[in-house]
């Protein structure tokens, strides 16, 4: 018969427990298995966020199918505190009121652009009138972090391919800030032309910024185009944030025989292979095709003019004519938002042949649905978003949203999400 092992002393038992605690802290494999990346991804649902600029809200809608609205988020929960700061600072107040009367068309601009964090728990928003970027907790509605941009207005953003960094244009300081999307810490910045606007991360490790120059004056006659400032594309390394290339589209447009066009590049989109850039320019009802490798403009197409659209360029909002562009996932079709002409349409990329004209009220943006089948536009004049199928160019759905929707972005939320309760 084997004798019973002696019971360890109390001091030895304490030592053993302490050793186990240390092992638990340093062990390379957790004692309880964590979810695999696939399981974590399965816990998120894909949605679309619609930024209601004049409301200061973001609507959450389904990213495909019926595009039903799932909820609404207040992106200015700190409005009172921000306004108090602004009204106590005469310079900030002057810019705040200038934004209201200029790009805001008599309204404050509370949400321009937005992206979700990789884990789907926060929405990062640029707020033009408050000159900042904030992270809104999607469960509580509270602000996690706030980054005041340099200067007095925040504008378009872009998210890196891996979702960890967000770039924002500071339009009055001619600067692009790149932030850690989780913490709001600035990772880098670079200078741009006058009034930086659109930002695009490319998969070759570059970050493109398009500056549009001064768009709030009435010096809109073609011969006064030189008054609009230094407009150019600035290309930076997306790791070091050093500028690697500057593209002056004035030279490229002149070489293509289009001295009549402005060189203020508005919304722009790359083909899936990154080889071709399509973009819109101020005052033009059409689009421009640019070959990246050869650094030249290859085609320009003029799209229909709405007979009801005034020929007085000073009546066009922020020098826009068309403002919104997307490309189908297979790269065969483009979707155009004809902002001042009140329509949207799908264009065959190979032939530049126009599809059906879809009436729309001041469409301000164009993106792609989650399943890639539809182009989704924001109708800022009718407070709704509308889906147009790439296959036929026909409208398939419209959903009411908040006041003056502009940017529409794909994002992710936890499954079963309910909007935070606001007071």
pLDDT tens, position by position, 231-280: 999 999 999 999 999 999 999 999 999 999 999 999 999 999 999 999 99
- Whether residue 374 contacts residue 357, with contact meaning beta carbons closer than 8 Å, is answered with no
Domain coordinates in residue numbering, the chain: 43-414
CA separation for the pair 183, 353 (Å, rounded): 45
Sequence-distant (6+) residues with CB within 8 A of 203 are 161, 274
Indicate the DSSP class of residue 354.
Answer: B
pTM here is 0.88
- Of the candidates 68, 44, 58, which has an alpha carbon nearest to the alpha carbon of residue 118? 44
Burial (Cβ within 10 Å: 0-12, 13-18, ≥19) of residue 82 = buried
As given in the structure block, the two tokens for residue 38 are 């696939």
Q: What are phi and psi of 94, to 5 degrees?
A: -60, -45
pLDDT digits (tens, 9 = 90+) for 118-160: 999 999 999 999 999 999 999 999 999 999 999 999 999 999 9
pLDDT digits (tens, 9 = 90+) for 152-194: 999 999 999 999 999 999 999 999 999 999 999 999 999 999 9
Sequence-distant (6+) residues with CB within 8 A of 97 are none
Distances (CA, A) of 200 to 41, 63, 224, 226, 354: 25, 21, 29, 26, 26
As given in the structure block, the two tokens for residue 356 are 């059906």
CATH number of 43-414: 2.130.10.10
User: Helix, strand, coil % (nearest 5) of the chain?
Assistant: 15, 40, 45
| DSSP helix/strand/coil, 143 | strand
- Of the candidates 164, 135, 168, 124, which has an alpha carbon nearest to the alpha carbon of residue 149? 168
Distance of CA 193 to the CA centre of its chain: 19
CA separation for the pair 34, 36 (Å, rounded): 6
């Amino acid at each position: 018969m084997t004798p019973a092992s002696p019971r360890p002393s109390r001091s030895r038992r304490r030592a053993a427990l302490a050793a186990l605690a240390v092992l638990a802290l340093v062990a390379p494999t957790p004692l309880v298995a964590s979810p695999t990346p696939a399981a974590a991804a399965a816990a998120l649902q894909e949605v679309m966020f619609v930024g209601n600029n004049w409301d200061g809200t973001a609507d959450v809608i389904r990213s495909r199918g019926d595009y039903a609205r799932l909820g609404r988020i207040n992106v200015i929960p700190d409005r009172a505190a921000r306004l108090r700061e602004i009204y106590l600072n005469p310079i900030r107040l002057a810019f705040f009121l200038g934004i209201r009367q200029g790009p805001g068309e008599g309204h404050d601009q509370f949400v321009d652009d937005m992206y979700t964090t990789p884990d789907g728990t926060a929405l990062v928003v640029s707020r033009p009138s408050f000159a900042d970027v904030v992270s809104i907790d999607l469960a509580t509605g509270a602000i996690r972090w706030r980054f005041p941009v340099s200067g007095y207005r925040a504008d378009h953003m872009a998210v890196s391919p891996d979702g960890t960094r967000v770039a924002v244009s500071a339009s009055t300081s001619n600067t692009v800030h790149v932030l850690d999307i989780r913490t709001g810490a600035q990772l880098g910045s670079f200078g741009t032309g006058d009034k930086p606007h659109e930002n695009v991360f490319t998969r070759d490790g570059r970050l493109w910024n398009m500056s549009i120059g001064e768009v709030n004056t009435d010096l809109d006659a073609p011969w006064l185009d030189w008054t609009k400032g230094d407009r150019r594309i600035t290309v930076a390394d997306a790791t070091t944030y050093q500028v690697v290339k500057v593209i002056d589209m004035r030279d490229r447009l002149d070489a293509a025989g289009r001295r009549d066009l402005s060189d203020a590049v508005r919304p722009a989109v790359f083909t899936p292979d990154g080889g071709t850039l399509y973009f819109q320019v101020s005052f033009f009802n059409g689009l421009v095709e640019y070959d990246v490798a050869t650094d030249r403009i290859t085609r320009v197409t003029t799209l229909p003019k709405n007979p009801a659209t005034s020929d007085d360029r000073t009546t066009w909002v922020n020098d826009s004519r068309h403002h919104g562009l997307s490309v189908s996932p297979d790269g065969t079709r483009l979707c155009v938002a004809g902002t001042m002409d009140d329509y949207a349409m799908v264009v065959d990329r190979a032939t530049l042949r126009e599809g059906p004209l879809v009436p729309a009220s001041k469409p301000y943006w164009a993106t792609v649905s989650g399943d890639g089948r539809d182009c989704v536009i924001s109708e800022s004049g009718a407070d709704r978003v509308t889906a147009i199928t790439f296959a036929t160019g026909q409208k398939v759905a419209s959903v009411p949203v908040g006041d003056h929707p502009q940017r529409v972005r794909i994002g992710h939320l936890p499954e079963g999400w309910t909007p935070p309760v606001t007071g």
